[in-house]
Amino acid sequence: MVSPSRRQVKTIVLVALLLVVFVLPAVSIVAAYLYFSHDLPRIGSLKDYRPPLVTEVYSAEGGLIGEFFIEKRYLVSLDDISPILIQAIIAAEDDRFFEHKGINLWSIVRAAIKNLRSFEIRQGGSTITQQIVKSLLLTPEKSFTRKIKEAILATRIEKSLSKDEILTLYLNQIYFGRGAYGVEAASRVYFGKSALDLTLGEASFLAGLPKAPNYYRNLDRAKKRRRYVLVRMLEQGYIVPAELREAEKSPIEFVQSENITKERAPYFVEHIRRMLEKKYGADFLYKYGVRIETTLDLSMEQAAHDAVRKGVEAYEKRAGEIDNSTRVQAALLGMHPYSGHIKAMVGGRDFRESQFNRAVQAQRQPGSAFKPIIYAAALDKGYTPASIIVDSPVVYEVEEFDEETGEKEYSFWEPQNYDKSFYGPITFRKALTQSRNIVTIKILKDIGINYVVRYGRKLGVVGEYNYDLSLSLGTCGVSLENIVKAYSAFCAQGVYADPMYIARIIDRDGNVIEENAPHLVSALSPQTAYIMTTMLQSVVEEGTGRRVRALSRPCAGKTGTTNDVRDAWFIGFTPQLVTGVWVGFDDLRPLGKRETGAVAASPIWLDFMQQVLRDEPVQSFTVPDGIVFVRIDPKTGYFPVAKDDKTIFECFKEGTLPTPFMPETMERL
């Protein structure tokens, strides 16, 4: 066997050295790369960055009234961010951002030395690109394996995205504490302004937060961290020494945190939330970042809150003793009669105490506030405002079924007027004006309970009806929203509009998801609606609603009080606005003997309407075709017989005028 020559030995040694020094490390690096990168997430998703965003709710005039979110984030472009904030973050987080290709080797070496000294991972040396990887593509665990994967993905991102795209991702993604994700949310949360409007002092403070948001919320630590950022900006040439000194002297003043959703229109916004979550799901509300444009008028909403607060405080002052465990509640709903736009909604005295919305969720007895529906039904059955009905005592036999014995039992019902008196023969108009219970019962008995229930449903009142004569006293269960909708038909010439809360919904890309138009329902003839409006004007002028005459403009309305005084109502309207008010206790406790709708509810209505109509022109109700005005004798309901008889103007549908001569019997019932 021939021994290798010295030259051959040298060649073999050289090849071996080359393998050890170059090839094997290269192979090892390739193998390691393949090992760590075979199951890495794809970076293509970053090109279509769609993080969870805040859904914003706006009033009709464009004021922000609510926000829904899991992560408080507003997506902005670099043009929407102050250049000084961008510079501050780059100086603090990655001063060679525009030079490296995803990883900064010097930072990694520096971090590695510190980690080896401590025998644990304390410093990462991550670039902005690597932080995006950690936030969006990998878990935040601290391990060498994860750091290797992070570096691989960072280099891939740098090849796939521009520096501006990477920076935009980072500035919208990072967490600043106090629930704020991204620079726009941080600017609003800490300073109450846009990221475009930050000062150097504010920008340098925010730039110091991502490293440890909770730690640097301490004011002394925050100032030290801000100085570090300012020094880094000075070293990078972003600012001059004079700017550093001025910014360092500026105070760090945070805005008072405001929960807009629970402060400006809480019951309205919560109603919106429940409707949309039911229709579209939770992700739509809390992640998609849609813009919800509503019908609410913010100034009217504030007036409603003020009126309700003063109203319940006035009640408590009259009542004397206050039980804080079950305080009196009130609700108010204001609606535009021709569109159904809800302009104001208060569902209780304090949303922080109770989120139950008594304007839409509570089913309460309307008492005499239901009477106009019965009277409107009677007008369409041949009654006129001049029809005569006798207000006199009545007794009805009531048939009941005993479930235990299986037999029928009989009792007697002797209804009373509120004042326990009787007026004798009175006109249809006066009976409603004075809210006479006995007359209303007689009318209901005459036209039929089933007919009135169908009529109420035609007006959109979908409550729980009692199929007996007690319906005349408003013993059905209705919501405030329902009864306001029904009254809007009187105001709008027989047409009611379904209550409308949302005008339009726009997604984050500017596409219209939902756009709503008024849904109008013709429920009454214009003539019936107008006559009912004039009768409800009489209630205000000379009846149970006299307190609201102080509005000093044409208005109509009706009080409502249940027999046990557990519910007090006032529903009224002008040509511009229909508003309903309810007052009562959640536990059905009586309000007190004298706490009628006129006393407890109508002052709230008046206060609200005076505020919202203060600068509005005075309007009169429109008289439709088919209405005739003639003089009648108010005692008989017929044309006057003698020239000196006292007369009043009354309105009638064409073809329903009273006969020229007064018969001996005036009584309809």
> Tens of pLDDT along 336-376?
999 999 999 999 999 999 999 999 999 999 999 999 999 99
Gap between the Cα atoms of 384 and 269, Å rounded? 43
Q: In CATH, what class is 81-249?
A: mainly alpha
Confidence of residue 647 (pLDDT cuts 50, 70, 90): confident
Q: Beta strands 55-58 and 291-294: pairing type?
A: parallel
pLDDT at residue 665 in the model: 37
* 663 pLDDT tier (thresholds 50, 70, 90): very low
Give me the pLDDT at residue 563, please: 83
Quote the tokens at residue 146: 């994860």
Mean pLDDT estimate for the chain: 89
pLDDT in tens, 143-201: 666 677 778 788 888 888 999 999 999 999 999 999 999 999 999 999 999 999 999 99
| 123 band by pLDDT with thresholds 50, 70 and 90 | very low
pLDDT of res. 399: 75
Instruction: Report pLDDT for 668.
Output: 46
pLDDT score of 121: 41
Q: Which long-range contacts (CB under 8 A, 24 or more apart) does 136-141 make?
A: 136/45, 136/46, 136/169, 136/173, 137/40, 137/41, 137/43, 137/46, 138/41
Task: Say yes or no to pLDDT of 594 above 60.
Answer: yes
pLDDT-derived band at 216 (thresholds 50, 70, 90) equals confident
- Where does the pLDDT of residue 13 fall: very low under 50, low under 70, confident under 90, or very high at 90 and above? low
Which pLDDT tens digit goes with each residue over 371-415? 999 999 999 999 999 999 999 999 988 777 666 676 777 788 899
Q: How many percent of the chain have pLDDT more than 70?
A: 86
Residue 122 pLDDT class (50, 70, 90 cuts): very low
Mean pLDDT to the nearest integer, 215-223? 87
108-117, 356-365, 387-396, 451-460: least confidently modelled range: 108-117
Average pLDDT, integer, range 441-461: 96
pLDDT at 664: 40
Catalytic residues: 93, 368
Tokens of 425: 């023969």
- For residue 258, the model assigns a pLDDT of 75
| Three-state DSSP string of 235-300 | HCCCCCHHHHHHHHHCCCCCCCCCCHHHHCCHHHHHHHHHHHHHHHCHHHHHCECCEEEECCCHHH
Report the run of H or E that residue 31 belongs to, with start and end: helix 24-37
Q: Please give the average per-residue pLDDT across 126-132, as a whole number.
A: 89
CA distance 648 to 640: 10
Model confidence over 20-32: pLDDT tens digits? 555 555 555 444 4
Q: Taking 70 as the threshold, does the pLDDT of residue 464 lie above it?
A: yes
* Res 582 pLDDT > 90: yes
More confident residue, 253 or 243: 243
What confidence tens digit (pLDDT) does each residue in 277-326 have?
999 999 999 999 999 999 999 999 999 999 999 999 999 999 886 666 78
Indicate whether 418 pLDDT > 80.
yes
Q: Report which of residues 564 and 11 the model is more confident about.
A: 564
What is the CA 635 to chain-centroid distance, rounded?
Answer: 51
Q: Among the ranges 102-106, 400-404, 440-444, which has the highest mean pLDDT value? A: 440-444
Return the pLDDT at 268.
98
